[in-house]
């Protein structure tokens, strides 16, 4: 037995046989000289291969209904790459200059594009390097007439083990038989990670030597909660994990029994539990777990995979979510791009400190036509349900006023085109910069609600990059300063007669539930799967005791002091 530890990507535990999938590796590419009179023939071969690759991508659209929106985003990105004029031009130039076969030209140009993206300081562009590699492999396999195995053809339950899973394979895999996924590479923001979460497949990434450690058919335990992968476990270890799986299943059944019950404390304090989503299809999961609405619809994923989405495409996506939620409120966060998330068709100046640069509302205000297109799309979709608009990364009243002014312009443009929209749309701002929390009383005068973005509030307040391993231990949501900023925001919201919500990871952290109740938070928005557990805690809690707990916590000077009081008060399960 051997235990390996990677990065937990998608929650859940699975026990099964390893399916070692190495067909994703680049094919061995021949290289030989051609004559000038063969250039046209080689180029024609390339165009035929591209057309076949495009047909293969299009055929995947109907592979499976689940994950349809995530799947289509990936496939659309691949189609754009296969049709990319610059990609084609560089390959043809290489073919004419080198006088070598088309396979070698495709290999060389694909590698150059890949290396260029991987060298970028922008993490999103580094993720797109995987797509370039995937498209290049697809073309080469067609040119070389190589028939690959596909995860779509699986006929038995397996745990897929691979160095790196191309997005095209992740889209096509038979998710009914893929019980877990273990990868040597990959990150939380990769296409494959997004799909694993959407499909609720346990996943662990970042075990670099996994393909060398595992043999075909080995028994594995994959713990997507902790990031552990156990190779050739003993019977005792398997039995232990089966008990954990059974307990989790029982707990899930008990929590799901609460789905239609209100999130109300024993002494009558009622809160709202909402879900965070990225894709329209996630509404199904949100409703299944008892979400009372969508507290955060991350709209940027409409733009990052295929370039900045047109107004009509955005309108359809928002309308789909509103229809699916059947009257339950949906809060759309205007696009949070910039920083380390750049749309493919927006050229920006490279920033030395992107997370302190042109991102979120700053990016939107710098691109007014794109911003108004998004606002018009949201307005038009509002006739299909209850929509709220939320502006991210607001730092002061000037930004909020500018965003509200853009919204009024968008309304005028809709009226001019006789496009209907709801007459009552709440508009709020995210409190995720310390400055915004400090002037929450001023921002509340022009807001219908606040939503605390706890992740960024912690990052900006404590000057900590949570993705930097050297300092990530300092990313402490229970730091006394964070608790005080949250309290100030909630108190100022209530003084102004508006509600305060939270949509960061802290809202779904069961350790924080009693503290947030005591602070007076009105709405919690989280990953849908966390809703039953948080509701369970709320329904067993007394808000009077939670307020007493917070009163003690506000006297604390260190994180350790806070954690001690939380443990004593039952705030840490």
User: Could you tell me the residue ranges of all domains in the chain?
Assistant: 2-23+149-235, 36-143, 251-268+447-522+529-573
Residues in the chain: 573
Average pLDDT, the chain: 88
Distance CA 143, CA 102 (A): 9
Considering only residues 174 and 291, tell me which one the structure prediction assigns the higher pLDDT: 291
Considering only residues 447 and 113, tell me which one the structure prediction assigns the higher pLDDT: 447
pLDDT class of 63 with cuts at 50, 70, 90: very low
For 468-472, what is the mean pLDDT? 69
pLDDT at 405: 97
In this predicted structure, the answer to whether residue 17 has a pLDDT above a threshold of 90 is yes
> How do 219-223 and 13-20 pair as beta strands?
antiparallel
pLDDT at 337: 75
pLDDT tens-place string over residues 155-172: 899 999 998 887 777 777
For the whole model, what pTM was predicted?
0.69
In this predicted structure, the answer to whether residue 363 has a pLDDT above a threshold of 70 is yes
Which of helix, strand or coil describes residue 298? strand
Active site residues: 191, 503
Domain 251-268+447-522+529-573 in CATH 3.20.20.60: yes
pLDDT at 573: 41
Within 8 A by CB and 6+ apart from 531, the residues are: 273, 275, 289, 290, 291, 508
Let me know: does 454 contact 507? Beta carbons within 8 Å.
Answer: yes
pLDDT at 39: 95
pLDDT at 267: 96
pLDDT at 211: 83
pLDDT class of 67 with cuts at 50, 70, 90: very low
Considering only residues 151 and 339, tell me which one the structure prediction assigns the higher pLDDT: 151
pLDDT tens-place string over residues 395-439: 999 999 999 999 999 999 999 999 999 999 999 999 999 999 999
In this predicted structure, the answer to whether residue 65 has a pLDDT above a threshold of 50 is no
pLDDT tens-place string over residues 523-563: 999 988 889 999 999 999 999 999 999 999 999 999 999 99
The architecture CATH gives domain 36-143: Orthogonal Bundle (1.10)
pLDDT at 152: 81
Considering only residues 572 and 266, tell me which one the structure prediction assigns the higher pLDDT: 266
pLDDT at 544: 96
Residue (of 559, 566, 452) closest to 511 by Cα position: 566
pLDDT at 486: 97
The architecture CATH gives domain 2-23+149-235: 3-Layer(bba) Sandwich (3.50)
How does DSSP assign 193-261, residue by residue? Answer: HHHHHHHT--EEE--TTHHHH--TT-EEEEETTTTEEEES--HHHHHHHHHHHHHHHHHHHHHHTTTTS
End-to-end CA separation in angstroms for the chain: 31
pLDDT at 59: 77
């Amino acid at each position: 037995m051997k235990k390996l530890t990677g990065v937990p990507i998608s929650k859940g535990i699975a026990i099964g046989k390893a399916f070692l999938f190495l067909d994703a590796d680049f094919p061995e590419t021949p290289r030989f000289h051609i004559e000038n009179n063969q250039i046209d023939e080689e180029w024609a071969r390339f165009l035929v291969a591209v057309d076949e690759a495009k047909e293969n991508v299009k055929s995947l659209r109907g592979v499976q209904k689940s994950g349809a929106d995530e799947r289509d985003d990936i496939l659309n990105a691949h189609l754009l790459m296969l049709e990319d004029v610059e990609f084609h031009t560089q390959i043809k130039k290489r073919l004419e200059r080198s006088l070598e076969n088309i396979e070698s030209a495709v290999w060389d140009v694909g590698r150059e594009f890949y290396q260029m993206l991987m060298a970028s300081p922008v993490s999103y562009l580094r993720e797109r390097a995987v797509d370039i590699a995937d498209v290049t492999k697809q073309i080469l396999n067609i040119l070389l007439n190589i028939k690959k195995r596909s995860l779509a053809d699986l006929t038995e339950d397996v745990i897929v083990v691979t160095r790196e899973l191309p997005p095209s394979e992740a889209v096509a895999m038979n998710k009914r038989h893929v019980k877990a996924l273990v990868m040597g590479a990959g990150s939380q923001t990769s296409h494959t990670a997004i799909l694993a979460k959407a499909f609720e497949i346990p996943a662990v990434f970042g075990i670099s030597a996994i393909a060398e450690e595992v043999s075909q058919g080995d028994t594995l335990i994959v713990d997507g909660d902790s990031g552990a992968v156990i190779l050739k476990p003993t019977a005792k270890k398997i039995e232990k994990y089966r008990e954990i799986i059974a307990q989790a299943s029982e707990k899930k059944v008990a929590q799901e029994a609460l789905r239609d019950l209100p999130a109300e404390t024993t002494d009558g304090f009622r809160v709202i539990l909402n879900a965070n989503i990225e894709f329209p299809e996630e509404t199904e999961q949100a409703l299944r777990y008892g979400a009372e609405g969508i507290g955060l619809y991350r709209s940027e994923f409409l733009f990052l995979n295929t370039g900045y989405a047109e107004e009509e495409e955005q309108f359809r996506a928002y309308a789909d979510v509103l229809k699916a939620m059947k009257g339950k409120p949906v809060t759309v966060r205007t696009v949070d791009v910039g920083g380390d998330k750049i749309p493919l068709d927006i050229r920006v100046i490279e920033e030395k400190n992107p997370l302190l640069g042109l991102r979120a509302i700053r990016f939107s205000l710098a691109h007014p036509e794109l911003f108004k297109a998004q606002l018009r799309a949201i307005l038009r979709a509002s006739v299909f349900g209850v929509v709220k608009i939320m502006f991210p990364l607001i730092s002061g009243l000037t930004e909020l006023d500018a965003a509200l002014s853009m919204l009024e312009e968008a309304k005028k443009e809709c009226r001019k085109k006789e496009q209907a929209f709801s007459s009552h749309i709440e508009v709020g701002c995210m409190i995720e910069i310390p400055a915004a929390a400090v002037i929450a009383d001023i921002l509340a005068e022009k807001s219908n609600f606040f939503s605390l973005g706890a992740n960024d509030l912690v990052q900006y307040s404590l000057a900590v990059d949570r993705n930097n391993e050297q300092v990530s231990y300092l990313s402490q949501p229970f730091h006394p300063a964070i608790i005080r900023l949250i309290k100030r925001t909630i108190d100022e919201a209530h003084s102004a007669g508006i509600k305060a919500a939270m949509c960061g990871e802290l809202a779904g952290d069961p350790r924080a539930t009693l503290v947030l109740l005591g602070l007076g938070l009105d709405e919690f928005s989280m990953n849908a799967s966390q809703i039953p557990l948080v509701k369970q805690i709320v329904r067993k809690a007394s808000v009077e005791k939670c307020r007493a707990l917070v009163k003690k916590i506000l006297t604390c000077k260190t994180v350790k002091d806070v954690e001690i009081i939380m443990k004593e008060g039952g705030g840490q399960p």
